[in-house]
Structure 1
Amino acid sequence: MKTPLTGILLLALSVTATAKSYPPLQADTLQGQTISSKGKMTYLKFWATWCAYCIEEMPHLQQAHEQSQGRYQVIAVNVGFNQSIRGIKTYINRHDYSFPVVFDATGDMTRQYQVTGTPQHILLDANGTEIYRSALLTDELKQHLATHSGVQP
């Protein structure tokens, strides 16, 4: 259940104090492709099918993917906790989402990016430096994506 207090607490936890750099993410998607963040601006969304906020924000993720026009890439990273590949594929197919989906079965990616809850939005520049992080979809995230896609939020 969403309450104003929950939103305030999540927002308070969402801002990154210092920019961190990460090694390139390289993974196989559930769609059978190998993807990498090396040399590409990348929008990562860590999520789970049991996360109500995550599910509510998925249409935005699809829209960001469609509007990226090669200027940045969108990768949905399922955290793998209490999830199955079959269930995730069923969910993605039911909604016709076309963005790449990675299943973090071991939790390594979730730990690497220091994700402590879902959803988690992380925007990385082409060098792997964190530009922005938030727990929820924010106007600031939309503005960052719009700036890099040429589409106004």
Structure 2
Amino acid sequence: MSRRWRSLLLLLSLTLFLAACGTGQEPKTVPLKPGQLAPDFTLTTMSGQSVTLSELRGQKVFLNFWASWCPPCKQEMPDLQAMSRQYEDQVLLYGVNITADDTLERAEMFVLEQKLTFPQLVDAQGKVQKAYNVITVPVSVTIDEEGKIVENRIGQLSKQQMEHMFQALLK
């Protein structure tokens, strides 16, 4: 294969990778809107506990969709871990691994490497990913006590953006 073709193939591969892993620049789909009822789901945590969103009514919820192969996901996890501790008595924070586009083994290794203590949900069939219009990761969604979406952000969050999302949820 010629050098030119290898360069073209490398460029194409990089473009596809970046398209799959959000940069926060441009959404790839129409996100769920604030005030809209959050799609209900039941998923299992990596530790085997079943979680149904509608059963969390009356509580504030923060969902973060991620994959082990996503660099922006990895970069924002330390801040999410800190937020989970800071707001643990006020907001339920769940990671949602898009396992349909990942593997459970890599996801579990990611959780161990990142030293994550907040619950991680496994979306093995991609049904929740689809219901929330998650085309690229990371995606963060906050849900109020009535089960309505407060905010839906596509792409990596800074610590300040996370803080804003938590504070907006607590108002």
CA deviations 1:71-124 (Å, max 9, x no partner) are 111110011244211111112112221011111111100111121210101001
Q: Tell me what 1:119 maps to.
A: 138
Structure number with the higher helix fraction is 2
Secondary structure of 1:55's match?
helix
Q: Tell me what 1:143 maps to.
A: 164
Task: Please give the residue correspondences for 1:19-38 in structure 2 after superposition, counting only pairs within 5 Å.
Answer: 19-37=35-53, 38=56
Shift of residue 17, structure 1, vs aligned partner: 5.2
**More moved, 31-40 vs 93-102:** 31-40
Gaps of 5+ in 2: 1-13
Q: Tell me what 1:95 maps to.
A: 114
Question: TM-score if structure 2 supplies the norm length?
Answer: 0.72
Distance of 1:53 and 1:115 partners within structure 2: 15
Distance of 1:69 and 1:52 partners within structure 2: 25
**More moved, 19-28 vs 92-101:** 19-28
Q: Tell me what 1:49 maps to.
A: 68
1:65 equivalent among 70, 84, 108: 84
Distance of 1:78 and 1:98 partners within structure 2: 14
Counterpart AA for 1:93: L
Shift of residue 19, structure 1, vs aligned partner: 2.8
**More moved, 62-71 vs 39-48:** 62-71
Distance of 1:92 and 1:27 partners within structure 2: 17
* Contact in 2 for aligned 1:22/1:129 (Cα 8 Å): yes
* Contact in 1 for aligned 2:62/2:94 (Cα 8 Å): yes
Shift of residue 149, structure 1, vs aligned partner: 6.6
Aligned residues: 147
Question: TM-score if structure 1 supplies the norm length?
Answer: 0.80
Distance of 1:59 and 1:120 partners within structure 2: 16
* Contact in 1 for aligned 2:33/2:151 (Cα 8 Å): no
Counterpart AA for 2:115: D
| Distance verdict in 2 for CA 1:8–1:45, change over 3 Å | closer
Q: Percent identity?
A: 20
**More moved, 133-142 vs 26-35:** 133-142
